[in-house]
Structure 1
């Protein structure tokens, strides 16, 4: 097999992925170096030159290589290896809750990038298969979306899979509703769709087909009525949720930090103490590694703190939008709009 990282003709299994020995050695050196986070310099390179270290390590993650499979690093005196991740942690297998041996470690967030990339690819394929893109068609994918989310989190965080089924269900249900709110922002960060400021006319082009034909016979709504009843919810969604996220110009590490903060919400009232503690501990690690990433990227401490706080505002923005989301569903029920039962079940559960 060829190396999946650099294309070399010789390849074998290294650290969970297929690569040549040179790329495996690079991956080991990268995680044993003191400069853990590096910037992409591809734009400053000449055409035809090799990718920078940042892109090369990202490709290592994409092909399945993981730092948890490294043997570790020996000190100059040849003593026992230092652990990169504390896999024996009683709280979570992937996230080390002990102080990092590296001052600017972002291993835990970075290691979930490939998981989320696969997850997004499957979701995009699933949603693109639905036509027309109306309220019933979209909500009919609820159960599939819940399964994909469960697979994502269970793979990225093995100890999540050990939680009781009720806790896992509550956390996944809440996360999917949040995720559906920020879909346009996800597309923008991934460069699938370039987001533009939405005028009322732009919102109407999406809103009217979304509800078209989903009212019971005899009580159909005109476009004017749909806009009057739902227009303010949708304009709020784009202007107060999506646009603030887009304006941050998030990179992949910042986005992943937000995704996991949204998922591991320790404030759930219907989960056990064990699950709440898991959420709290993981969020502490995410906050620390997000700060590390920003310090390496920007260096100016005042700006780092400013951006750190702006990024942490995003989950609060999404939570406010979630209430609007639930209010809109209540209006849909009042007007007997056709929505799939799977979606109704998780929304009603969130309202309790």
Structure 2
């Protein structure tokens, strides 16, 4: 008897509210052959009628590191052979997705021959899909060589920026958001071309450390342009930096990528260019990733835990941003709003109250920007759209907490930081 596992679904379907759709079920029953390879179908798997072999293939590959899968012939039009063995993985996966297969669509009692049986819940079922669990030799994970990363130099540079006695004055009539805009200068990306950026095609620990330094120092510099922040005690400044730098940079990269794309013809995000720094871009689909410093596992094995490899959720906010077409002031409001909202949530006592006060100050400045500079009295629709993007980013942050918890449980990462609070949301 064929083994039953949760990735296959019974020959029925559900509407978005969870109720069975008779019309959809009837149409699925009429399909006798696999929609991918043409073999005899065995049921509804991941949202499409397929055979078990194609369902198993999709389960293995769909959540993996797709950028390392290459088309055999290079044109993305390989012939689909009915026995499944001669498939080009790239084209087979493409076919699966074209017919509507989705890794999130699975049901527990999947087999039409045993739909009355309840499958004993397993860790894989609770976590959503088997790829979340790395089946490994526990001794190998336990004896992993720890990579210790010293952040002292970066923290010292950031501290020097934060504690500088140099006060940056506001220009006449300039509010906080305008002043913050001079620090981020995101508008420059709207007039940039591809030739203005160096493409990084391989990323290892050296490149990663360089990106971290750039990101942390960028946030430190941005914060010095916020007058009330400059009045805080030194330790409070560092606490804010440790708390917000990762969420700030997450949104800032989306903002600069949006600024670059919005000036192009028919702008859209095709999961390719991310502008990492002032003059650096990363092609996510073609980059080579060296994670020996991070884990004993291969990129393919732990792709689900790596943003821009097996996890693309961080970039779902780009399309709403493109549709919003934000100004530089609006992006800086979004940066301040998401940063101080996150700080108000994560910090306690007086620091949380300070963050709440900062939120009120930037809200007043945004009102003045619309009413005085743009002479717009009704702007609630734009604020709602900005908050939609910020909420998507925040949701991604909190969803990643669950992934990080799983990774720690199974000792997937073997890295220690000299300042663990700085990276607790990442590894």
TM-score after normalising by structure 1: 0.53
Q: Tell me, yes or no, if the aligned pair for 1:136 and 1:214 is still in contact at 8 Å.
A: no
Measured after TM superposition, the shift of residue 262 of structure 1 is 2.2
Measured after TM superposition, the shift of residue 245 of structure 1 is 2.5
Partner of 1:249: 325
Quick one: distance in 1 between partners of 2:367 and 2:241? 26
Partner of 2:360: 284
Runs (5+) with no aligned partner, structure 2:
1-167, 190-196, 275-282
Partner of 2:182: 114
Change over 3 Å in CA distance of 1:253–1:236 after alignment to 2: same
Partner of 2:344: 267
Q: Deviations over 1:134-170 (max 9, x none)?
A: 466324543553344223312x124423423443233
- Select which of 370, 379, 393 maps to 1:318: 393
Partner of 1:35: none
Q: Deviations over 1:199-253 (max 9, x none)?
A: 6x999x726846444378974354xx445665896222222x3322232111111
**How many aligned positions are there?**
239
Q: Please list, as runs of the form range in 1=range in 2, the aligned pairs for 1:81-230 lying within 5 A after superposition.
A: 107-117=175-185, 132-134=202-204, 137-139=207-209, 141-143=211-213, 145-154=215-224, 156-191=225-260, 196-198=268-270, 206=284, 209=287, 211-214=289-292, 219-222=297-300, 225-227=301-303
Change over 3 Å in CA distance of 1:132–1:257 after alignment to 2: same
Which structure shows the higher helix fraction?
Answer: 1
Q: Tell me, yes or no, if the aligned pair for 2:204 and 2:290 is still in contact at 8 Å.
A: yes
TM-score after normalising by structure 2: 0.45
State the SS of the aligned residue for 1:112: helix
Q: Tell me, yes or no, if the aligned pair for 2:201 and 2:288 is still in contact at 8 Å.
A: no
Quick one: distance in 1 between partners of 2:269 and 2:311? 13
Quick one: distance in 2 between partners of 1:115 and 1:140? 20
| Greater gyration radius | 2
Change over 3 Å in CA distance of 1:316–1:210 after alignment to 2: farther
State the SS of the aligned residue for 1:163: coil
Change over 3 Å in CA distance of 1:298–1:226 after alignment to 2: farther
Quick one: distance in 2 between partners of 1:137 and 1:329? 22
Q: Tell me, yes or no, if the aligned pair for 1:233 and 1:328 is still in contact at 8 Å.
A: no
